[in-house]
Amino acid sequence: MIFLIIEFIDELVFGVGEAAWPLIRNDLHLNYAQIGLALSLPGVIGNIFEPFLFVLGDVWKRRTIILLGGVLFTLSLILTSVSFSFVLLILSFILFNPASGSFVSLSQASLMDSDPVRHEQNMARWTFAGSLGVLFGPLLLGGLITFNLGWRPAYWILASISIVILLAAFKRLPRSQTSSGDFPSPRVYFESLRSAFSALKNWTVLRWLVLLEFSDLMLDILHGFLALYLVDVMRLTPANAAFFLVVYTGIGLIGDFLLIPFLEQVKGLDYLRVSVIVECILLPLFLLSSQLWLKLTLLGFIGLFVVGWYAILKANLFSSMPGQSGTAQALGSISGIVGKLIPLGIGLAAQAYGLQAAMWLLLAGPVALLIGLPRKPIV
């Protein structure tokens, strides 16, 4: 449960942040290129440092690394709340990314280690906990907007919640059964790093890493630009955009909840192949439609049919690397260095050609999955 609560606070921060972009943009006078940079650069920097932390989490005190990450996670939220310039804002995001990696990603790895034969089911639970956070994020921000309090108090509230969860983690977080109490010698540590990088030669591992990055186009990257799209293209107010983000996330939350028993009956990859085809149809229809009610309806269906993408793909990555959950997270960070540049590309495209045109780049996600998913079920 403590692992799922940690995922909840991480996605609560995400939900607030993505809904707050129109307010942050207006407050700090940002353009699309700056927003794209803020969504990309911290992730790239974080993904450079995270592999070293994740591999260390396989051979040393994972619990200690998680708790230290939680402390920095909380500090980054406080720094965001007092950011009165673009430079300070992006510095707070740079601190947040490796902190979230240590606090959240290693918690996910520990959850996977707790039951190696039920990766898809536990990833579904993890995704559901995260969806709850993403749902409550815009609700929190929308309530503060209603009382004319803005986005900064939201981050103070997030920091306060994070402190409470961190204290609970100090008390409840179990000790890892797979890592050693002695700090590894340089030889042992670098041998672990070499082993991690050598796993990139495994085509099965590489497949899941690539597909995870492409799937993110329809997940976090779409969510990252969605509030701006609702305000700038669809002409909703920031308050109405935050409300619709709640509805959008709520649809996904229902799907995530239903996915847990669904995966007991149906193979995840069989479902994924069908949903990818559906998304290849829905996204162009959404971008081409001009009626507000139709766009919102199609967007709701888009949110429904991406349910399970992350959980199923990530579960297959863990299953392809048994007993190496920290290393699997490390490889995800390495591949994420490229993936984290995508929001910058979309931001630059939006700055040059408009956000409506830039959103067509998201179609590369379902198309890549359509091509890259294995044709036969993997046992």
Give the tens place of pLDDT for each residue, 252-275: 889 888 888 888 888 889 999 999
Judge whether residue 249 has pLDDT over 90. Answer: no
Q: Give the range among 99-113, 128-142, 188-202, 354-368 with minimum mean pLDDT.
A: 188-202
Q: Tell me the one-letter amino acid at 303.
A: G
Judge whether residue 323 has pLDDT over 80. Answer: no
Share of the chain above pLDDT 70, in %: 96
More confidently predicted of 191 and 348: 348
Q: Identify the pLDDT of residue 317.
A: 92
Q: Identify the pLDDT of residue 176.
A: 63
Whole-number Å distance between alpha carbons of 314 and 331 = 12
State the number of CA atoms in the 13 A half-sphere of 253 facing the CB: 18
Give the mean pLDDT of 59-80.
Answer: 92
| CA proximity to 366, closest of 317, 297, 288, 309 | 309
Assign 184 to helix, strand or coil: coil
Q: Identify the pLDDT of residue 162.
A: 96
Q: Identify the pLDDT of residue 376.
A: 63
At what angle are helices 364-372 and 268-288 packed, to 10 degrees? Answer: 150
Among the ranges 103-117, 249-263, 277-291, which has the highest mean pLDDT value? Answer: 277-291
Question: Across the chain, what does the average pLDDT equal?
Answer: 88
Q: Tell me the one-letter amino acid at 137.
A: G
**What is the pTM (predicted TM-score) of this model?**
0.78
| CA proximity to 322, closest of 190, 178, 124 | 178
Write down the number of H helices and E strands in the chain: 18, 0
Q: Which CATH number does the domain 2-171+186-372 belong to among 3.40.50.720, 1.20.1250.20, 3.20.20.140, 3.30.450.40? A: 1.20.1250.20
More confidently predicted of 337 and 106: 106
Is the Cα torsion angle 217, 221, 222, 225 positive or negative in sign? negative
Strands (E) in 36-193, as ranges, are: none
Using the 8-state DSSP alphabet, how is residue 101 labeled?
Answer: I
State the number of CA atoms in the 13 A half-sphere of 160 facing the CB: 6
Q: Identify the pLDDT of residue 116.
A: 79
Q: Identify the pLDDT of residue 379.
A: 46
Give the tens place of pLDDT for each residue, 149-193: 889 999 999 999 999 999 999 998 877 655 555 666 777 677 777
Q: Tell me the one-letter amino acid at 98.
A: P
Q: Identify the pLDDT of residue 300.
A: 93
Give the mean pLDDT of 218-246.
Answer: 88
| CA proximity to 333, closest of 307, 348, 309, 314 | 314
Q: Identify the pLDDT of residue 179.
A: 53
